[in-house]
Chains A and B, each alone.
Chain A
Amino acid sequence: DQQVKQNSPSLSVQEGRISILNCDYTNSMFDYFLWYKKYPAEGPTFLISISSIKDKNEDGRFTVFLNKSAKHLSLHIVPSQPGDSAVYFCAASPNTGNQFYFGTGTSLTVIP
């Protein structure tokens, strides 16, 4: 029962172009969403988050968009850089408790 889904296992983008990573969720109780970045043999590191009271949050080259009615969020990276090549996980948390539910990840490759 995967409550957070990332339907694209992999994505390749040319350096300098936009990378768009997508995430869908099923639980309407989720109200806080995060993106993590993971390099091989390392733990995930926090990238950006968004609360359900917002529909957009921006941090430098990274922007997360939230569409609550569609239960969909996306991460935009502009411009993409080779160092962005990693696996990206989205995660969601309900408005009570501290349990986080993770997607299966999207492996991003930025081609120089």
Chain B
Amino acid sequence: NAGVTQTPKFRILKIGQSMTLQCTQDMNHNYMYWYRQDPGMGLKLIYYSVGAGITDKGEVPNGYNVSRSTTEDFPLRLELAAPSQTSVYFCASSYGETSGAQETQYFGPGTRLLVL
């Protein structure tokens, strides 16, 4: 099992450009998540999905879009990149069989994004 994989590892964007961060999991998990981590800060939830075709906003969704057409993939789209989106982005997945309790998330290695 590869677990959760993310591409690219690192990217530099110019202000106003757009890009898609890819996330794939091979554990047949129902739930998937996107977080961002700013320097010296904790992880903030951007969007999450409880299954294919279902997505919902987290704490910091502005400037991002997601889709979940398959169980395995959960891409994160940045439109009109801004310097405030410079961060490290982590994708995670979990079984989602029990709400909250006993739920463990498995994280990808992260994508480091720099917007200049």
* A contact set with B: CB distance below 8 Å: 2, 4, 6, 9, 31-32, 34, 36, 41-46, 49, 51, 89, 91, 93-105
Contacts and interface: CB of A to CB of B under 8 A. Distances in A.
B3 to A, nearest CB: 9
21 contacts: A31-B100, A41-B109, A42-B109, A43-B90, A44-B90, A44-B107, A49-B104, A93-B100, A94-B100, A95-B101, A96-B99, A97-B99, A97-B100, A98-B96, A99-B45, A99-B48, A99-B58, A100-B45, A101-B45, A102-B44, A104-B42
Contacts of B109: 41-43
B21 interface: no
A97 B100 CA distance: 6
B89 to A, nearest CB: 10
Contacts of B41: 104
Contacts of A94: 100
Nearest to B49: A98
B101 to A, nearest CB: 5
A4 B100 contact: no
Given A42-B110, A43-B109, A44-B90, A51 B101 contact: yes
A96 B100 contact: yes
B4 A32 contact: no
A34 B104 contact: yes
A32 B99 CA distance: 10
A46 B106 contact: yes
A74 to B, nearest CB: 17
A62 to B, nearest CB: 14
B100 A32 contact: yes
Contacts of B107: 36, 43-45
B103 interface: yes
A111 to B, nearest CB: 23
Interface in B64-116: 90, 92, 94, 96, 99-110
B105 A100 contact: yes
Contacts of A105: 42
A9 B42 CA distance: 11
B50 to A, nearest CB: 7
